[in-house]
Amino acid sequence: MNKTETTTPYAQNRQQLVIEGRELSFLDIGQGPVLLLGHSYLWDSDMWAPQIAHLSQHYRCIVPDLWGHGLSGALPSNCRNLKDIAAHMLSLMDHLQIEKFSVIGLSVGAMWGAELALKAPTRVQSLVMLGSFIGYEPEITRDKYYAMLEVINNEQTISDKIINTITPIFFANHPKTELVEIFKEKLKHFDSSNLDNLYQIGRMIFGRRDTMDDAHLLTLPCLIMTGVEDKARSVLEGYLMHDAIDGSEFVHIPDCGHISTLEQPDFINHRLSSFLSANFQV
């Protein structure tokens, strides 16, 4: 997406790391136990602004922009799935010489977050998954999203029609107008040179493996939260993950759609603080 350093929150805390020939952009702000935050598809690190302001008072927040999003570069050529993205995020933590950390992810951020917890179980201390599902994408929604990706790929633009189709998926039934307009503007000004990355990452997300097969291996403290009006990830999916992950906690987010960090920031901040204070102190 088109953004500049001067308009991005916390620009002075932004750094870059080259991974497999591509530049990964990330925020590094605060001190204390380390949190790695992963944003939603089609968004970027700005999505976490209310949480960064709150959590960075007591934690060190590492907030990367996903490949092809925000200020990060293109997808590395050999990146094929969410396991590869998890490996890249582990490389980021290695670079920063961070041994132990917790992962907080929304949507795809939680999907690769779960893969990272499975890949490095002695390092990931706790896991928060908001508005996500680590099982297969249901066939009906997968095919619908694939069809939209094909249109974007063929037209090499995100048309107004696609924007108007996508936007309601991310918000509650009666969303804040400001949030909706901000998101529409992001899509309208999405960097056309990143559309191939958008297509490839979308195929990775909606064609992901069934990580639920390994859910029994997620023995770390785990908090699952889903908006009661989330159209992208249902409350039922949250319950399925809760049932599959022993000892996990499940929370309904009231009056909320998919982008809970911006729709219900105070609720999310309170729940995150409570969970982290009980389960993550290094």
Helices 195-206 + 82-95 axis angle, to 10: 110
pTM: 0.95
pLDDT at 52: 98
pLDDT tens sequence across 55-103: 999 999 999 999 999 999 999 999 999 999 999 999 999 999 999 999 9
pLDDT of residue 1: 46
Q: For the chain, which domains are there? A: 11-135+211-279 (3.40.50.1820)
**In whole angstroms, what separates CA 164 from the centre of its chain?**
22
Q: Would you state the pLDDT for residue 280?
A: 79
Residue 190 confidence (pLDDT): 87
| Residue stretches of the chain with pLDDT short of 50 | 1-7
β-pair type (22-29, 249-253): unpaired
DSSP state of 217: G
Per-residue model confidence as pLDDT tens digits over 235-251:
999 999 999 999 999 99
Q: What is the pLDDT of residue 9?
A: 64
Residue 35, both tokens:
């949190």
Are 241 and 133 spatial neighbours (Cβ–Cβ below 8 Å)?
A: yes
3-state DSSP assignment of residue 146 = helix
Widest CA span of the chain, in angstroms?
Answer: 49
